[in-house]
Structure 1
Amino acid sequence: MILVNSDWSRIIDFDNFKVNTIVVENIEYFRRVVSNFIGQIDGAEGKFSLSHENKGLDLSKKALLISDIFDVNPSLKKANGKINKYIKTLSIDSFEATRNITSDLEKYIDELLTDIDLPIVRSETIDIDDILKISNIHVEQGEDIIENLVNIFNVCTDLLDIRLFVFINIHKLMTSYEWDCFIKTVILKDANVLIFESEVPRDFYIDNGIEKIYIIDEELCEI
């Protein structure tokens, strides 16, 4: 799988390197590059093209961008929605149990409403969508950043067929040990990772089959 930018001469090759880090030292250009990529994730036209075996891939469907590892929920809306759809299909297979649960819930709410002497009513029916909504089913996240990333890789690869995981300035948020664990996790999960950095990272596995670093300097020259 490769990624190209129409303004750049270099090709980002994920077949040879599982982690590709693009350092853009000119901060204004860094913002433009990242904004352009985010726009394409949201479905807009842009300068990036992702392909595999000469077949174009839609970035809005095949890439997941996590700009804030402290709050990944906005990035996981698609995954959480897909989880709910999957569970809904399971509920159809368990039709009798689902019907009993919704019926009991309707009776419970009716009993509560009888104690209120006001013109208040509930929806005519309660279905599995209503139950899933209040259940707030989502990708599990805890305090361990590596474990969180493993959960994201697993869920998004299996449910969304995500081919590329994209992070912004993630190097500086990890210790050397955490970065080593992150790299090993990427290899174990066979995940393709693209990282945008605004400065050369402290720790990286350069040109050894794991991580490849590309630098665009202040004068926008590719190094």
Structure 2
Amino acid sequence: MKLVSSDFSFQLELEESKVNLLIIENPIIFSKIILELLKQSEGNEGRFVLSQEGKVLKIEDNIFCIINPLELDFNQKNIITKLYSRLKEEIINTELLLENNSIYADIFQYIQKVIDTISYPLTYKADMEPNALFKLLNVKFEEVQESLVERIIDYIKIMQQILGKKIVVLVNIKAYLSINELEQLYREAAYQKLNLIILESHLSSSLNNEVRYIIDKDLCEIY
């Protein structure tokens, strides 16, 4: 895959074995690029184009951004909606369907018994979607106490496996993680077949598998 912008000359070649490190020393351009990628990852129009073998891909289907790794939301609405859809498919397409129907029959029978104890006319919905049960029981991802790099790894796994995202943009992540932790993150991303784009506001030491691009304060592009 390839990510380009009509505002710049650089082309980010997205390969699983490489990490694209984009260093933007001009604060205005740094903010502009982050906002542009964030906006497009949420489905809005923008100047970045993602393609694969000449075919343009939807950025919102493939890219997600981590702006602040300290505030990762494992249970945001779009994740939970997709999770419930996946769980529902498992029920419908496996032997769980018979058990599911039996449980619902018991629930409706119990509700009818409760209703019969009251002399008022009552009604209820006589069918139940699995999603209603998931919501009732507040099914969600458990957020365990982990190191920051472990939380980031768990989060990107969820984004890939539940939402199908293939590319993660991390902003100033080197301010949060040690070199060993970065190497751990890079290894896990490669294992999960995820593409990493690292946006940094200043030059720092590069790791072995990073491909570095620089936009300096005078907007000169250095590769």
Q: TM-score range by the shorter chain?
A: 0.7 to 0.9
Corresponding residue number in structure 2 for 1:194 = 197
Compute the displacement of 1:74 (Å). 6.9
3-state secondary structure, aligned to 1:196? strand
Deviates more, 1:76-85 or 1:175-184: 76-85
Amino acid at match of 1:154: K
Amino acid at match of 2:166: R
Amino acid at match of 2:212: I
Corresponding residue number in structure 2 for 1:216 = 215
TM-score normalised by the chain length of structure 1: 0.81
Deviates more, 1:41-50 or 1:141-150: 141-150
Which ranges of structure 1 fall in alignment gaps of 5 or more residues?
none
Q: Deviations over 1:146-166 (max 9, x none)?
A: 333333343333343322111
Deviates more, 1:64-73 or 1:103-112: 103-112
Counterpart CA distance in 2 for 1:16 and 1:127 is: 39
Percent identity of equivalent pairs: 26
3-state secondary structure, aligned to 1:9? coil
Alpha-carbon spacing, 1:74–1:181, altered in 2? closer, same or farther (3 Å): closer
The correspondence of residues 84-103 of structure 1 with structure 2, limited to 5 A, is: 84-92=84-92, 93=94, 94-103=96-105
Amino acid at match of 2:129: D
The correspondence of residues 1-223 of structure 1 with structure 2, limited to 5 A, is: 1-15=1-15, 18-73=18-73, 77-92=77-92, 93=94, 94-105=96-107, 125-142=127-144, 143-201=146-204, 203-205=205-207, 208=208, 210-223=209-222
Aligned residues: 219
Amino acid at match of 2:182: W
Which ranges of structure 2 fall in alignment gaps of 5 or more residues?
none
3-state secondary structure, aligned to 1:212? strand
Counterpart CA distance in 2 for 1:137 and 1:145 is: 24
